[in-house]
Amino acid sequence: MQIQENYNLSKLNTFSISANAEFFVEAHTEADLVEIFTLPQFRNIKKVFLGGGSNVLFTKDFDGLVILNKLKGIEILKEDSKNVIVRCMGGEIWHDLVTFAVDRGLWGIENLSLIPGTVGAAPMQNIGAYGAELKDVLENVEAIDINTGKNKIFSKEECKFGYRDSIFKNDLKGKYFITAVTLKLSKVETKNITYKILQEYLERNKIEIKNSKDISDAVSRIRKSKLPDPIIIPNAGSFFKNVFVKPAELEKLKKKYPEIPFFWEEKGISPQPSPSKGEGVIKVPAGWFIEQCGWKGKRIGNVGVHDKQALVLVNFGGATGEEVLNLANKIMTAVKEKFGLGLLPEVNLI
């Protein structure tokens, strides 16, 4: 294990922000992590964990230790006639796990194809796409307590998953390093194609779903056509979370903006809303608010808002994290002033 000093992180975050870490180390095994967490010289130093760097913004240099997750391995723990229990180490690339599953004809994570990043970061925000979320198939999360170096297994309930949210993003932020994730995948068809964009794509292209790989391929093609590739134009996907409004709020908005897009959402909301109490179960795309404020396609210096996806902030080259943050703040202020709504960043600010 080699600890490096003053390490440049530009190749380790999809925003391509050129921030430096005071110290940097790659963890290849759980023993590496225990050693890092118990080394006296690093006990009281700030630490941040990094997977694929696809959901972080380094707002400045990091005066602490960056630990890159390189824990590898996928294994089938057990199976019966219906299900397969798969344990995957946190440093594996998420889409490689999807490929592992669909190549074996397993169902459960095909809608989450091509989400960038590692398996270890997936529980952080309960990754979700095309009508599915990690929590739908998660059995447990293994993690190491950074203060004691001890292992803990979190059940699904203990993870407190919500929409792009979990206990690891809140009460336990930075306190546990996720080492492995165990999923329950299905041998029996559980196809989930109700998500409008996916359904329309399948109909338009006359695709008949025969196995989970067909869905994975369709989702991958849709994603490639819709989202800017960070290799070509650096970004971290959706910068903001979508917005949930109460039915009464939606009615008010509809009067002024009859064309407002909205979706009834039952999944991923924590705590579970109660429609009978008029609680919000309606999702309005955050990108719509940004577009209404005139920010879509706008550029300020090295940063800007993508011209096709208003939710995606981009680095046109040479941007600092501070520039991206300033742009995000300007957008949040504009949405607050026009709609009285507070946008929340989905990206982790470091």
d(CA 7, CA 21): 5
* Residue 164 known to be catalytic: yes
Of the residues 16, 59, 113, 118, which one makes contact with ligand FAD according to CB under 6 A: 118
Shortest CB 248 distance to ligand FAD, Å: 29
CB 61 within 8 A of CB 54: no
Query: Does 69 sit near ligand FAD (CB under 6 A)?
Result: yes
Q: Which stretch binds ligand FAD (CB under 6 A): 35-43, 102-110, 114-122, 244-252?
A: 114-122
- CA Rg, the chain, in Å? 21
Of the residues 9, 16, 51, 95, which one makes contact with ligand FAD according to CB under 6 A: 51
Shortest CB 324 distance to ligand FAD, Å: 13
Query: Does 310 sit near ligand FAD (CB under 6 A)?
Result: no
CB 342 within 8 A of CB 336: yes
Edge to edge, the sheet with strand 83-89 lists: 74-79, 83-89, 176-186, 138-145, 151-155
* Residue 238 known to be catalytic: yes
3-state secondary structure labels for all residues of 292-325: HCCCCCCEECCEEECCCCCCEEEECCCCCHHHHH
**CA nearest neighbour of 36 among 126, 122, 149:** 149
Query: Does 234 sit near ligand FAD (CB under 6 A)?
Result: no
Of the residues 9, 19, 50, 88, which one makes contact with ligand FAD according to CB under 6 A: 50
Query: Does 125 sit near ligand FAD (CB under 6 A)?
Result: yes
Shortest CB 3 distance to ligand FAD, Å: 18
Q: Which stretch binds ligand FAD (CB under 6 A): 53-61, 272-280, 320-328, 335-343?
A: 53-61
Query: Does 90 sit near ligand FAD (CB under 6 A)?
Result: yes
Pick between residue 4 and residue 170 the one whose CB is nearest to ligand FAD.
170
CB 235 within 8 A of CB 313: yes
Q: Which stretch binds ligand FAD (CB under 6 A): 72-80, 99-107, 149-157, 229-237?
A: 229-237
The H-assigned helical ranges of the chain are 30-38, 94-103, 196-204, 212-226, 247-256, 286-292, 321-339
Which of 16, 164, 166, 212 is flagged as catalytic?
A: 164
Query: Does 334 sit near ligand FAD (CB under 6 A)?
Result: no
What phi-psi label fits residue 113: left (phi over 0), alpha (psi between -120 and 50 degrees) or beta? Answer: beta
Pick between residue 108 and residue 249 the one whose CB is nearest to ligand FAD.
108
Q: Which stretch binds ligand FAD (CB under 6 A): 36-44, 51-59, 265-273, 274-282?
A: 51-59
Query: Does 268 sit near ligand FAD (CB under 6 A)?
Result: no
Q: What DSSP designation does 17 have?
A: -
Query: Does 236 sit near ligand FAD (CB under 6 A)?
Result: yes
* Residue 322 known to be catalytic: no
**At 349, phi and psi to the nearest 5?**
-90, 125
Shortest CB 141 distance to ligand FAD, Å: 9
What separation in angstroms does the CA of 188 have from each of 77, 196, 198?
A: 18, 23, 21
Which of 30, 92, 142, 346 is flagged as catalytic?
A: 346
Pairing of strands 62-69, 20-27: parallel
Q: Which stretch binds ligand FAD (CB under 6 A): 30-38, 186-194, 232-240, 333-341?
A: 232-240
User: Sign of dihedral through CA atoms 227, 122, 134, 265?
Assistant: negative
Residues lying near ligand FAD in the complex (CB under 6 A) are found at 14, 48-56, 69, 90, 115-118, 120-122, 124-125, 127-129, 168, 177-178, 227, 230, 235-237, 348
Residue numbers annotated as active site: 164, 238, 346
